[in-house]
Structure 1
Amino acid sequence: MSVAQLVQQPSREHLLYLTPCPKGRRRTWFNRSGNGIIAWINRMMYSNLSKGHPTFTHFPTEDQEMWFRQFAQECTWNPDHTNFIRDAFVHKVVDNFGKQIFEWKQKWLINKVPKSFNNTV
């Protein structure tokens, strides 16, 4: 079953509805705060990575598709907009993944710098 078919399944009205012009209850978009999308992406990064990748676009295609398919279990949208939603999803994941990688690198560098160097700075 494709993701477009998945979002057409019955009993999905309780899910967040993604639309670029969110007006009304339970409607949202990727740039809205407090909608849980960033938290969902972070959970995927911490729990669903088989190995490290420099960016999301370096993920194997099947892993990128799996993330999008799992995301479609959390939200719904007009099935005709699936490719547009996929592009926005990838953009959001790439952005968030890059921020997390930067933070992880900063923490790693802080832990790797010798203490004697830290005392002289």
Structure 2
Amino acid sequence: MMYSMFHFGYSKWSVIPSDERELWLRQFAQEFNWHSDLTETVRKKFNEKAMDSYTKQMNA
């Protein structure tokens, strides 16, 4: 997913446009379910994990 969903190569997660980061969240949401009240909490945690994962991939 990391390589196929981005329009460009980005040096770090924080410079990825929010609409592209949102695509990742939507892909994630297709696999998992949660109560709608938790969406902002899930979004925050998802971004934390995605940032960590992206950084590790770029460093590798």
TM over 0.5: yes
Identity of aligned residues (%): 38
Task: Identify the structure with the greater helix proportion.
Answer: 2
> Which residue of 18, 21, 24 corresponds with 1:67?
24
> Which residue of 73, 86, 101 corresponds with 2:43?
86
TM-score by length of 2: 0.89
Where relative contact order (Cα < 8 A, 6+ residues apart) is larger, the structure is: 2
TM-score by length of 1: 0.47
Task: Identify the structure with the greater strand proportion.
Answer: 1
Runs of 5+ unmatched residues, structure 2: none
1:53 matched residue in structure 2: 10
| Equivalenced residues, count | 60
* Runs (4+) off by over 4 Å: none
Runs of 5+ unmatched residues, structure 1: 1-43, 104-121
Q: Which moved more, 1:48-57 or 1:89-98?
A: 48-57
Instruction: Map residues 1-121 of structure 1 onto 2, 5 A cutoff.
Output: 44-103=1-60
